Amino acid sequence: MPRNLRLTSRVAEALLMAVPEGALLVGSDNRVVAVNQRLIELARLQDVDTSPGAPIGPLADAVAEQLPSGSTALRQLNRRHFPRTAEFRFLDGRVTRTSRRAIDVDGEHVGVLWLVWDVTDQRRRENDLRRHVHTLGELARERAEFTARASHELRTPLATILSFCELLTPPSAGPLSPTQSTYLDTIQRNAHRMQEMVDGLLHASTTAGAHGQTTYARVDMARLLGRLTGELLPRAEAAEIFLAHDHEAGPPAYADRGQLENALAALLDNAVKFTPPGGTVTVSAHPYAEPDGSGWEIAVADTGIGIPKEFQEEVFTEFVRAPNARRGGYPGTGLGLATVRDTVRLHDGQIALHGAAGEGTTVVLRLPTRSPGPPGHE
């Protein structure tokens, strides 16, 4: 071997030994210049001549013997056609990622540097994650189907109970004694409460199925919120709650109007439901413009019972309710905030919750105005 080649090989080998990946330097004559121990171990080349000056062919053949027949990597090796990057899946389950870099000196091609990583554990984790996500998706679909079926089955007997309550209410069936009136009121109140829960379950199952059928269109946020707060006003007044709103005009948002309306209505419903008489619910909506994009910031604030800080993440999980809401006997299924969160995420938005138990709650949404799909009209 010429002295200058030996020197070049020794320098290259010393450099490659410092590289954590498997590394192989091949000259323009398709002969080995240098190789590190890591590559010999990764490619199982202990019985192959990898000394400086050795031809690259036997090395490629040794790797090919470890690959499944018919694989793309095997065909590439047999044709000696090596892509810039490739992934090799060996018969024993190992997976490596390979990168090829051409080396030019003064415009002349002098060789190729190969780098090889063992990505077996990474691919195994990714496959496990994909299987886990698929399983969770199937479970979520089955739960939504069960919820929808159960809710539909409950609606008929509930409607019957409420109908008979109406028939028993004076003057339809004659006067009732105070005790009978109390019993009837209790039946009606709890039947209505259960009906709200059933409606919530149905809405949740419908929303879950609708996320794959999202239709984006231009939505006038100020107009939408103005209508929703107007519809809520009689209920707020009946509950002796002051409802304030501050909506600025601004650019349209691109959103699925039905899903967004349901999410905002759920926020407003929660604010009124969990605020005692004499309290205040404030709804505000303002457009914002920032270097990374523009959008709408919507805040729904109330002076109600609040959410304990340790539960402010959990309440975004389906069927989870804050303990003070359960103790207070407030009706609900624990689906409202979960639905809101899913809708906001679907629109590439952000949601934040502030407050504490006994201090009220403020929910802030930030929704971008950019179009996630073809624009339509509200």
Separation CA 321–CA 269 (nearest Å): 15
Cis amide prior to 171 (ω within 30 degrees):
yes
**pLDDT attached to residue 254:** 86
pLDDT of residue 4: 42
pLDDT single digits (tens) 135-153: 887 877 777 777 777 777 7
Give me the domains of the chain, ranges plus CATH numbers.
Answer: 3-118 (3.30.450.20), 121-213 (1.10.287), 215-378 (3.30.565.10)
3-state helix, strand, coil in the chain (%, to 5): 45, 25, 30
Q: How far is CA 317 from CA 293, 321, 340, 366, in A?
A: 29, 9, 11, 20
The span from the CA of 129 to the CA of 123, in Å, is 10
Query: Which amino acid, 111?
Result: G
- If pLDDT is split at 50, 70 and 90, which confidence band does 351 have? very high
Q: Whose CA is closest to 35, among 45, 27, 24?
A: 24
Give yes or no for residue 5 having a pLDDT over 60: no
Residue range 352-368: mean pLDDT, rounded = 93
Among 298, 235, 287, smallest CA distance to 263 is for 298
Most confident of 48-52, 174-178, 368-372: 48-52
pLDDT of residue 9: 64
Percent of the chain with pLDDT over 90: 20
**Per-residue pLDDT tens for 170-208?**
777 778 888 888 888 888 877 877 777 777 666 666 655
pLDDT-based confidence at residue 375 (cuts at 50, 70, 90): very low
Q: What is the mean pLDDT of residues 213-217?
A: 77
